[in-house]
A and B are shown apart, each in its own frame.
Chain A
Amino acid sequence: MYSLVHTATICGIDSMMISVEADISNGMPMFSMVGFLASEVKESRDRVRTALKNTGFELPVKRITVNFSPANIRKSGAGFDLPVAITILAAMNEVSRERLEQVMLVGELSLEGKIFGVSGVLSMVLCAKEAGMRCCIVPRENEREAKLIPGIDIIGVTSLGEVIWFLNTGEKAIYEEETPEEKKEQNLPCHNFSEINGQQLLRRACEVAISGMHNLLMVGPPGAGKTMVAKCIPSILPPMTLEEQIELSKIYSVCGLFRERESLMEQRPFRNPHHTISEQGLTGGGKEPKPGEISLAHSGVLFLDELTEFRKNTLEVLRQPMEDKEVTIARVNGTYCFPANFVLVAAMNPCNCGYYPDMSRCHCSQPSIQRHMDKLSQPLLDRIDLCVEVSAVGYDDLIRPGGANESSEEIRRRVIRMHQIQKERFEGTDILFNSRIPARELQRYCPLGEKEMAYMEAMYKKMDLTARTYHKIVRVARTIADMDGAKNISRKHLQEAICYRGMDKRYWENCL
């Protein structure tokens, strides 16, 4: 007898529908599975046989063949146990084949017949919906996640027996509905800008950075508060649109970081990887490529503390994703593309001891400062739009009670308005923020007056700017003008943008 069920597998962060067919025929008794399987899928044969036995079904003494199609895609992951078991049962006429039409199944089996959760369910359910499935049978652990996708029936199951019962009778097992906990207070980020005393320049730079989604680099002595300010940044990030939420949730789901959540990812992510991270950890990789930190920071903030301590190779791989807003990983089994539209916030010391250019405290020699700076390449620095110095906090500022400072909520309100303005400006294009305006569109969105042009020309020569840094300055000036409520960019906006302009090693070398 022949039967067919549907399941899905993860490719990158998207999923693909896979058909699992089974055929039971006369011949030498055996159980074979074909279709380009990874070893965890091949092992599923033993799990399925035992789980079926422990649920009360003996495999017939016949030739059983299971095929996964399309056969050119490598199948990996633990979610194939359930579809294999069900398709064999259907071939044995133990469950109704009609009910299996337009149903997607996914789940890992234990020998006892229990069903465990798998990662990436959100992405699979989305795929099933697009493929026109009417119902998804998922492990109970993943039920909540799957139900975030509207317009498709989700059946959460804990054991093989339940699935068979459902398929034969159409009745769901009844669970004690978990008392729906009151929707937890949105777990607000614990740091708030009201705790930061002084640091006016840095506060302003953070607001500009988040308003236009510009990359930010903080340079300063140890203990000045770089990390603390960075930890406040999540509190001023604006909310995400539904599409952004779904895309981000998919990434987290694929990485298996979604299980306990009750809703989509509502807050923009703030990722803070340690500086020992590998290239693969940052961009994503592995035999079956998984998203890395830059994708987990998609539409949010990637914070790299102690930027100069990262391995040089690791930092250099950031260059392409920062430009393209996505990362492409090529492996033997295929090429995967992960979104990586993040804001880079980085912090570093200006030299080994950290006190340069305060020569009364810094004991580094000129070559040692040079070597410290050389850990970062100019192409990477060119991609950073804003760079500010963080000075050590004075005692007066330190002991002042924090309440008097502007709180994150106020800043966030302004940031939300800025995002609104940009949304209106870029209506009908795929540009999202000022920082993403392509160079060819600059003239259209950031026109400069005659006087401003003359000023920028003078600065271009004086500061030895490159085309890329020039564009960065204009984009930042656009954001500053927006914050000022001005329609056109004027000289003072450009001046402020130049004040924040990215680190240029050559510029300081000439001064040294």
Chain B
Amino acid sequence: MMYQYWFLRLAGVGNAKKRSLIEAFGSSEAVYKATRGDLRSYGLLEEGQIQRILEQGKAWDLEGEYRKFCMTGQSLVTLEQKEYPSMLAKVFDAPYGLHFLGELPPENANMVAIVGSRNCSAYGQKMAQDLAKELGRRGYWVISGMARGIDAYAHQGCLDGGGKTVAVLGSGADVCYPRSNQVLYGRIQERGCVLSEYAAGTPPLARQFPARNRIISGMARWVVVVEAREKSGSLITIDYALEQGKDVYAVPGRMTDPLSRGCNGLIAQGAGIITSVEQFISNIEEIEFLGISSHLSCQEEIFLLEKEELLVYSCFDFYPKNIDTVLVESGLELLTLLSIIMNLCDKGYLKEIFKNEYIKCK
């Protein structure tokens, strides 16, 4: 393990080179012990790199550094171990090793990546949560980046559904970024893991975030985009996913909605469309879709509402709408409308997401 940690921290040699070295020498220990002649004989490395490996090998305090690492409480997994996520191992520039807190997904885990924009709408939030919750309930692992917005809701939804989840960070695994997700960060470690290719204590630098996206898409079998603007960072993940040959799905939005333009664009280019949670699951499980959708099935339930309540309920949407708009659409008296809205809120059909702005909950 000490040798693996040394090899992981070895600077100046890229992930692809490290991988070739392991293939050539068999293990990191062999690389550590190799002479200048051995390193040269494979013709993989430039002179400068060989020099660096030898220098760093001498200067490195093998035991001391590894002990220091163990003190941080993090664990380590490298390409040399069979615990290394198998899907990720197939990616050509997969990181040699990963630092993580929590438990790694088992070999046979079905992993779905859910990504999307940080600035999401109430609709995006609901879709991410519903999707992740159902996946979590069915034992899928949801993987995402623990950013604000869709990422956080996907983790949350999955945990709420009783599933396990993986968060791939753009900082060291022990650095919680953004700070506002502190609670979530703790919950993920209990049911799943927080992992990172960066050493403990690495600050969240902007350039590290696009790179971690390749791990998100690399570990997953399916990648879902919930809400993305036309030039969204989430689309970087999709680019990696396509490169890595993963199945890409997108949640469609309204064509006028700039927040869904990226998703709708992906669908136009041939990404899978998610018309309901059940359709998506039957799609990935390769079973026949029975045409049942939980978002539509509550339609039966709403017939229990009174006539006016039904009218008001149907005026609302999964996008926030304010009272004044509904007032005009429904043609009801203001006071009647207010009382109906409050009743619907009590019954859990509507939710106030901002002052006097409501969305459907069912």
Say yes or no: A387 contacts B322, CB within 8 Å.
no
Alpha-carbon separation in the docked complex, A197 to B252 (Å): 36
Shortest beta-carbon distance, B262 to chain A, in Å? Answer: 13
Which residues of chain B have C-beta atoms less than 8 A from A198's C-beta?
324, 328
Say yes or no: B354 contacts A499, CB within 8 Å.
no
Say yes or no: B119 contacts A492, CB within 8 Å.
no
Partner of B339, one of A219, A359, A496: A496
Tell me, yes or no, whether A322 is within 8 Å of chain B by CB: no
Alpha-carbon separation in the docked complex, A492 to B339 (Å): 6
Say yes or no: B149 contacts A499, CB within 8 Å.
no
Given contacts A201-B327, A389-B356, A503-B355, contact A360 B257 (CB under 8 A): yes
- Residue with the highest number of chain B CB atoms closer than 10 Å, among A362, A389, A458, A503: A389
Shortest beta-carbon distance, A370 to chain B, in Å? Answer: 9
Tell me, yes or no, whether A508 is within 8 Å of chain B by CB: yes
User: Which residue of chain A lies nearest to B260 when distances are taken between CB atoms in the complex?
Assistant: A360
Which residues of chain B have C-beta atoms less than 8 A from A366's C-beta?
118-119, 148-149, 180
Shortest beta-carbon distance, B183 to chain A, in Å? Answer: 12
Tell me, yes or no, whether A62 is within 8 Å of chain B by CB: no
- List residues of A (342-381) whose CB comes within 8 Å of B's CBs: 350, 356-360, 362-366
Say yes or no: A391 contacts B325, CB within 8 Å.
yes
Alpha-carbon separation in the docked complex, A366 to B118 (Å): 8
- List residues of B (319-353) whose CB comes within 8 Å of A's CBs: 320, 322-325, 327-328, 334-335, 338-339, 341-343, 346, 351-353
Say yes or no: A201 contacts B324, CB within 8 Å.
yes
- Residue with the highest number of chain A CB atoms closer than 10 Å, among B118, B341, B356: B356
Say yes or no: A204 contacts B334, CB within 8 Å.
yes
Shortest beta-carbon distance, B20 to chain A, in Å? Answer: 42
Say yes or no: B327 contacts A200, CB within 8 Å.
yes
Which residues of chain A have C-beta atoms less than 8 A from B335's C-beta?
204, 492, 496
Say yes or no: A201 contacts B323, CB within 8 Å.
yes
Partner of A389, one of B148, B180, B322, B327: B322
- List residues of B (107-139) whose CB comes within 8 Å of A's CBs: 118-122
- Residue with the highest number of chain B CB atoms closer than 10 Å, among A359, A363, A387, A389: A359
Tell me, yes or no, whether A174 is within 8 Å of chain B by CB: no
Shortest beta-carbon distance, A359 to chain B, in Å? Answer: 4
Alpha-carbon separation in the docked complex, A365 to B180 (Å): 13
Say yes or no: A200 contacts B256, CB within 8 Å.
no
Alpha-carbon separation in the docked complex, A243 to B126 (Å): 57
Given contacts A198-B324, A365-B119, A508-B354, contact A496 B338 (CB under 8 A): yes
Say yes or no: A389 contacts B357, CB within 8 Å.
yes
Which residues of chain A have C-beta atoms less than 8 A from B106's C-beta?
none
Tell me, yes or no, whether A19 is within 8 Å of chain B by CB: no
Alpha-carbon separation in the docked complex, A357 to B149 (Å): 14
- Residue with the highest number of chain A CB atoms closer than 10 Å, among B324, B335, B353: B324
Shortest beta-carbon distance, A100 to chain B, in Å? Answer: 65
Which residues of chain A have C-beta atoms less than 8 A from B352's C-beta?
511
Tell me, yes or no, whether A199 is within 8 Å of chain B by CB: yes
Say yes or no: B355 contacts A388, CB within 8 Å.
yes
Say yes or no: B258 contacts A360, CB within 8 Å.
yes
Tell me, yes or no, whether A498 is within 8 Å of chain B by CB: yes
Say yes or no: B339 contacts A495, CB within 8 Å.
yes
User: Which residue of chain B lies nearest to A393 when distances are taken between CB atoms in the complex?
Assistant: B324
Tell me, yes or no, whether A394 is within 8 Å of chain B by CB: yes
Alpha-carbon separation in the docked complex, A50 to B58 (Å): 101
Alpha-carbon separation in the docked complex, A360 to B120 (Å): 10
User: Which residue of chain A lies nearest to B254 when distances are taken between CB atoms in the complex?
Assistant: A360
C-beta contact mask, B245-269 vs A, less than 8 Å → 1, else 0? 0000000000011110000000000
Shortest beta-carbon distance, A372 to chain B, in Å? Answer: 13
Given contacts A204-B334, A219-B355, contact A359 B119 (CB under 8 A): yes
Alpha-carbon separation in the docked complex, A350 to B356 (Å): 12
Say yes or no: A495 contacts B342, CB within 8 Å.
yes
Which residues of chain A have C-beta atoms less than 8 A from B327's C-beta?
200-201
User: Which residue of chain A lies nearest to B257 when distances are taken between CB atoms in the complex?
Assistant: A360
Which residues of chain B have C-beta atoms less than 8 A from A496's C-beta?
335, 338-339, 342
User: Which residue of chain B lies nearest to A218 when distances are taken between CB atoms in the complex?
Assistant: B355
Which residues of chain B have C-beta atoms less than 8 A from A508's C-beta?
353-355
Given contacts A359-B120, A365-B118, A496-B338, contact A350 B149 (CB under 8 A): no
Alpha-carbon separation in the docked complex, A389 to B357 (Å): 8
Alpha-carbon separation in the docked complex, A195 to B251 (Å): 44
Say yes or no: B354 contacts A360, CB within 8 Å.
no
Say yes or no: A495 contacts B119, CB within 8 Å.
no
Say yes or no: A350 contacts B354, CB within 8 Å.
yes
Alpha-carbon separation in the docked complex, A447 to B73 (Å): 59
Alpha-carbon separation in the docked complex, A200 to B329 (Å): 13
Which residues of chain B have C-beta atoms less than 8 A from A495's C-beta?
338-339, 342-343
Partner of A499, one of B122, B353, B356: B356
Shortest beta-carbon distance, B93 to chain A, in Å? Answer: 31
Say yes or no: A498 contacts B342, CB within 8 Å.
yes
Alpha-carbon separation in the docked complex, A364 to B119 (Å): 8
Alpha-carbon separation in the docked complex, A154 to B72 (Å): 88
User: Which residue of chain A lies nearest to B351 when distances are taken between CB atoms in the complex?
Assistant: A511
Partner of B328, one of A356, A358, A387, A394: A394
Shortest beta-carbon distance, B155 to chain A, in Å? Answer: 15
Shortest beta-carbon distance, B267 to chain A, in Å? Answer: 19
Which residues of chain B have C-beta atoms less than 8 A from A396's C-beta?
328
Say yes or no: A201 contacts B357, CB within 8 Å.
no
User: Can you name 6 A-B residue pairings with CB atoms under 8 Å?
Assistant: A201-B334, A359-B119, A360-B258, A492-B335, A496-B338, A499-B342
6 smallest A-B Cβ distances: which pairs?
A389-B356, A495-B342, A359-B121, A357-B354, A389-B355, A391-B324
List B residues at the A interface (Cβ < 8 Å): 118-122, 148-149, 180, 256-259, 320, 322-325, 327-328, 334-335, 338-339, 341-343, 346, 351-357
**Given A199-B324, A201-B323, A496-B342; 8 other pairs, CB 8 A cutoff:** A359-B120, A366-B148, A388-B355, A391-B324, A394-B325, A397-B328, A498-B342, A499-B338
